[in-house]
Amino acid sequence: MLIECFEKNANLNKNKTALITRDGSWSFGELSGFVKSISNEIRNKKIRDFEPVGLAFPNCMEFASLILGSLMAGTPSVLLGSYLKPRELLYHVENIGIRIVLASPRLENVFLEAGGVREASLTSAIDCWRFNTEKRSKFQKGDFICQLTSGTNGIPKAVIRTEEAVWTEVAGTAELIRLSGDDKFLTLPPIHHSYGLIGGTLVPLCLGAQLALSEAFMPADVLNMLGAQRVTVLFAVPFMYHLLNQAYKQRLEANRENPDLSSLRLCLSAGAPMKAEIAKEFKNRFNRQICQDYGSTETGVMCINLKQEDFENSVGLPVGDYIIRAFDENGNELPVGTDGELRIKSNATARVYLYPEELNSTAFSNGWFCTGDTGRIEENGYVYVSGRKSSLINVSGMKVDPVEVENIIMQFPGVKDAAVVGLDSGYSGQIIKAYIVASEKIDESQLILFCRKNMASFKVPRAIEFLEELPRSQTGKVLRKYLINNN
């Protein structure tokens, strides 16, 4: 499926540029040759049947090639990325059963501290590390990737997706965005995450479009790249769009010419809800609408809203074969237009959780995957996400969506960023606390008055704390658990 498609398009486009990184560019012919070479190197490691190989890299040519090369070799890959600390790395190595990890040389100290034993490097940019773990992995024929994602109670999740599942997502995404061989992608988020990997990397590489990968996000450099490469499809996350807005503004103030971004036909955003003011500013500055992409590690992209102006608060229409419905707390399907837990059916969903194993019985129900998100589906098929079941705040029995409160707070002058959490308060359940990043001095009492005027009394924050910045994940999500734990 994926490899056959990649090789077919590589043969048809041997001299066409396939991949651009800060280290250079490669044609489809060159990239295909490297993938085949790396595939043979992986086979020579004499890895057991269906035993996974770990991959630890930032966004680079080697990472993209190893993902395809591992698949070509019939070896599942665990996408470790480049941000793990030694303790975290060892946790996943031992719990998944990874004996061989291929890694960027920059991560040498991490692997030494984690107890890895260096073996002969595959290339000057691909180190090889061996770990002494006897745990037999639970991978099976057809498994493609294992991805890591945040879990509850501090326990990370490891999720396996098959090649068939990923191909279903690749084909559905390409069809919905009307992929052309003339498209030029720029992918900014880490490709060890689902968003950057599937739509942002495998779609262009496997279907014959050009891909530029950014390792470090530098807004000014990205603006230049968008113009110089005549990028047509941009994969980014909300805070990146915010910083692109700022970079554009700074150029104007310095009387510097901004690059021509007229080639952009599609700007996708995922990882966190897009704040209306960021999207509006981007539209005003670049004359391009940001389209919301809704997905998860377990499902890949479920929806894309290509008509954001017409359906502003929607995450769009389901991709490919995805079926999305809302259910009540008893597992009953709800009528169209009624809020409930969103569940999905698709051949693209994850096969299994490696850990925590209890999720295999709680996250899957009668063929449906339970997303943990709340929302509704309208008559026209558009999906609306209202929040997370786990993030809803219980104030004296009343449920409060923190995103709703945050959106109102963001309208107050001087508020640059905001996050809202629920804190235990004894008998009354929870109280709402707001964390504010301010661009100027804010009168706290005036902010509270503003909230009281614009939301129900039980939704008004009872505590406010000012921070220099909010803790966020690599994809821009606010890490609420750190805010809660600090209390």
What is the per-residue pLDDT across 324-373, written as a single tens digit (0 to 9) for each? Answer: 999 998 999 999 999 999 999 999 999 999 998 999 999 999 999 999 99
What is the percentage of the chain residues whose pLDDT exceeds 90? 77
Query: What local confidence, expressed as pLDDT, does residue 440 receive?
Result: 94
Does domain 393-485 fall under CATH 3.30.300.30? My reply is yes
Q: Which tokens in the block code for residue 369? A: 């995957």
> Residue 135 phi/psi, 5° resolution?
-65, 125
Mean of pLDDT values over 152-165:
81
pTM: 0.84
Collapsed DSSP state (helix, strand, coil) of residue 22: coil
What is the per-residue pLDDT across 283-324, written as a single tens digit (0 to 9) for each? Answer: 999 999 999 999 999 999 999 999 988 888 899 999 999 999
Per the CB < 8 A criterion, the answer to whether 219 and 247 are in contact is yes
Residue 428 — pLDDT band, cuts 50, 70, 90?
low
How far is the C-alpha of 213 from the C-alpha of 14, rounded, in Å?
20
How far is the C-alpha of 58 from the C-alpha of 174, rounded, in Å?
25
How many degrees, rounded to 5, is the angle at CA 273 between CA 264 and CA 326?
115
Whether the pLDDT of residue 426 is over 70: the answer is no
Q: What are the extents of the domains in the chain?
A: 2-163, 393-485
CB neighbour list of residue 334: distance below 8 Å, 6 or more residues apart: 325, 326, 327, 328, 340, 376
Nearest to 211 by CA among 193, 191, 241: 191
How many degrees, rounded to 5, is the angle at CA 293 between CA 288 and CA 295?
170
The full DSSP string for 376-429 is EE-TTS-EEEEEETTT-EEETTEEE-HHHHHHHHTTSTTEEEEEEEEEE-GGGB
Query: What local confidence, expressed as pLDDT, does residue 153 receive?
Result: 42
Residues paired with residue 268 on neighbouring β-strands, in sequence order:
235, 291
Average pLDDT, the chain: 92
Q: What topology does CATH give the domain 2-163?
A: Rossmann fold (3.40.50)
Top-ranked range on mean pLDDT: pick from 85-94, 434-443, 446-455: 434-443
Using a 10 angstrom Cβ sphere, with 0-12 exposed, 13-18 middle and 19 or more buried, the burial of residue 374 is buried
